[in-house]
Amino acid sequence: PSLEVKPARVAGAAAAFECRAVQIIPVPGSSYTMVLGQVLRYHLQDGLLREDGTADPLQLHPVARLGGSEYAELGKIYHLARP
């Protein structure tokens, strides 16, 4: 049997992830829930992959959720060697 997953995706989204929920954690003292997932497959628009196989953040234009109704866009990018 095929294990292929074909979930709906947002038209025009630069990236989409197919995930499996690994852990669901209620956040104490709030009505929020944190979901940890494992990415099974990802989809990127053409032209977003660099030669090293990573997504180009300058072309991806990611948006981060901060808290409440606040969001952020990507700022300065710098490289830091891993130990």
Model confidence pLDDT, tens digit, residues 37-73: 999 888 889 999 999 988 898 888 889 989 889 999 9
pTM: 0.62
Distance CA(53)–CA(46), nearest Å, equals: 12
d(CA 71, CA 20): 25
Average pLDDT (11-34) is 91
Residue the block writes with tokens 């109704």: 69
